[in-house]
């Protein structure tokens, strides 16, 4: 392992402070020794940080004792931090531990000039990440995680060992008289995707394809150049400051869209959000507004030629509205206008229209927000399915708030924009048909206000 390849990373921290994540394993031990090698040359403060998650009983205690002794013998400051993980809650233990460490790194080094965190990730880790993220559908930048230098949540992370495979790291330790390091026994158990890949799949692949490991490393190096170019292009596009214009997004190359979104929001957009964004950009600019959900509290609004972020309206603010359909009038509910008119056919232009048996429907309907757990018997299948599932399957955003139409008994007849219900369906014996329409208004009005127009 040529330690001089690490020089550039450490030179950037001249006169600053470096924290090294130190588990006691071979990779973090090598990272700590490398930082120690450059400490006096570049004059940075050096602190080893060991997180004790208390997940392996006596083995965890022994890891902490080893790390403390190793650092103190070499004159390195060390902090041993108790960081217990809630194992009773849902979610991946690995993900919860990573999130807990990041939160603590933010406390130690976040938004502090000259501070950085060194981690011991190496070339083999990067190949594993590449394959795991490939199967999850990541883009090029995601596939190349982790990077040698990156900022996450205000913390600068440095990974000087990324060019080196684990075998070179272990040889480096042995050449420096170190033949004892900690081994996490849980890594040998193939009970999660990463362990199964490392222990079972990659050894077979490397054995079958000669030189595969070295080839994968070269591939990642080449792809990193491509990703750097795309990231630079995205940065230049973002710096032009036209992100609030619809025309900017329509002309932006699709490969740059997620990268510019990430710069704009300081967060990685989901695949579902990007798919909906692509669909929106293929449509004509709205006369009023349309929106895409980003989170439970925020959405991206398209209004004429403008694009902006806004807080999500609360579903509970919208009332249940009585709709008398006997006179062919219309009502307004939130951002939506509902119309009813007699019809002689059953053809519909979109999911925002529905045709019913007028006599089976009744004269008064209810328009209400879809509530958690609401179900509808679906036309054509007879299945009683949750509105939320139907909305997700139809790839319909949850904002603007979508209503449902119910009969007087409270049964859902229709979820506009999603699916037609099976109740009061037109049959061969239907004598009178009525067409219901739901149209998003060009501008929002007071929720629950009503108006009457001649049909």
Name residue 440's beta-bridge partners. 336
* Enclosing H/E stretch for 234: helix 212-239
Q: In terms of Cα–Cα distance, which of 96, 66, 40 is closest to 48? A: 66
User: Are 258 and 268 spatial neighbours (Cβ–Cβ below 8 Å)?
Assistant: yes
pLDDT at site 46: 97
Question: Quick check: bond before 146 cis, omega within 30?
Answer: yes
pLDDT digits (tens, 9 = 90+) for 49-64: 999 988 888 999 999 9
Q: Where are the beta strands (DSSP E) in 129-236?
A: 149-152, 155-158
Q: Which residues of the chain have pLDDT under 50?
A: 314-316, 442-455
pLDDT at site 334: 78
Q: Which two tokens stand for residue 374?
A: 């609401």
pLDDT at site 88: 67
Q: Is the dihedral of CA 215, 216, 219, 220 positive or negative?
A: negative
pLDDT at site 439: 85
pLDDT at site 139: 86
User: Are 71 and 48 spatial neighbours (Cβ–Cβ below 8 Å)?
Assistant: yes
Q: How many CB atoms lie within 10 A of CB 253?
A: 12
pLDDT at site 423: 94
Q: Is the dihedral of CA 198, 199, 201, 206 positive or negative?
A: positive
∠ Cα 33 36 41 (to 5°): 140
Q: In terms of Cα–Cα distance, which of 54, 57, 51, 58 is closest to 25? A: 51
Q: Residue 44 phi/psi, 5° resolution? A: -100, 155
Q: Which two tokens stand for residue 314?
A: 């609360």
Q: Residue 208 phi/psi, 5° resolution? A: -80, -40
Q: In terms of Cα–Cα distance, which of 154, 163, 176 is closest to 32? A: 176
Quickly list H helices, 197-211: 202-208
434/302 Cα distance (integer angstroms): 33
């Amino acid at each position: 392992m040529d330690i001089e390849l690490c020089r550039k990373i450490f030179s950037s921290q001249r006169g600053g402070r470096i924290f090294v994540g130190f588990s006691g394993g071979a990779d973090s031990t090598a990272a700590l020794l490398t930082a120690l090698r450059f400490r006096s040359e570049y004059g940075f403060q050096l602190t080893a940080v060991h997180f004790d998650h208390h997940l392996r009983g006596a083995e965890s205690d022994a890891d902490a004792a080893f790390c403390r002794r190793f650092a103190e013998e070499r004159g390195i400051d060390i902090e041993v931090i108790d960081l217990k993980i809630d194992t009773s809650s849902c979610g991946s233990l690995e993900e919860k531990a990573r999130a807990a460490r990041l939160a603590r790194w933010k406390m130690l080094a976040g938004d502090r000039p000259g501070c950085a965190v060194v981690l011991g990730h190496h070339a083999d880790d990067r190949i594993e990440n590449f394959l795991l993220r490939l199967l999850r559908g990541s883009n090029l930048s995601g596939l190349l995680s982790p990077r040698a230098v990156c900022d996450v949540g205000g913390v600068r992370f440095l990974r000087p060992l990324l060019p080196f495979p684990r075998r070179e790291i272990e040889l480096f330790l042995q050449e420096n008289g170190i033949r004892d390091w900690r081994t996490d026994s849980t890594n040998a158990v193939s009970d999660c995707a990463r362990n199964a890949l490392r222990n079972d799949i990659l050894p077979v692949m490397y054995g079958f394809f000669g030189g595969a490991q070295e080839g994968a490393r070269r591939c990642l190096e080449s792809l990193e150049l491509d990703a750097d170019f795309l990231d630079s292009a995205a940065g230049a596009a973002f710096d032009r400051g036209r992100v609030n214009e619809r025309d900017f997004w329509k002309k932006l190359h699709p490969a740059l869209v997620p990268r510019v979104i990430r710069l704009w929001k300081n967060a990685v957009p989901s695949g579902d959000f990007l798919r909906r964004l692509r669909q929106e950009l293929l449509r004509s600019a709205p006369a009023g507004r349309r929106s895409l959900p980003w989170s439970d509290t925020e959405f991206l609004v398209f209004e004429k030629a403008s694009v902006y972020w806004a807080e999500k309206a609360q579903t509970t603010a919208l009332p249940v509205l009585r709709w008398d359909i006997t006179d062919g009038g219309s009502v307004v509910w939130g951002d939506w206008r509902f119309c009813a008119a007699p019809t002689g056919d059953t053809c519909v232009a979109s999911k925002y229209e529905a045709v019913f048996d007028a006599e089976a429907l009744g004269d008064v309907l209810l328009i209400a927000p879809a509530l958690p757990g609401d179900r509808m018997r679906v036309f054509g299948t007879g299945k009683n399915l949750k509105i939320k599932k139907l909305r997700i399957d139809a790839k319909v955003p949850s904002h603007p708030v979508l209503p449902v139409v119910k009969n007087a008994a409270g049964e859902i007849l229709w979820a506009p924009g999603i699916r037609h219900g099976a109740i009061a369906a037109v049959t061969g014996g239907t004598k009178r048909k009525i067409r219901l329409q739901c149209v998003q208004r060009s501008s929002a009005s007071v929720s629950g206000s009503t108006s009457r127009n001649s049909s």
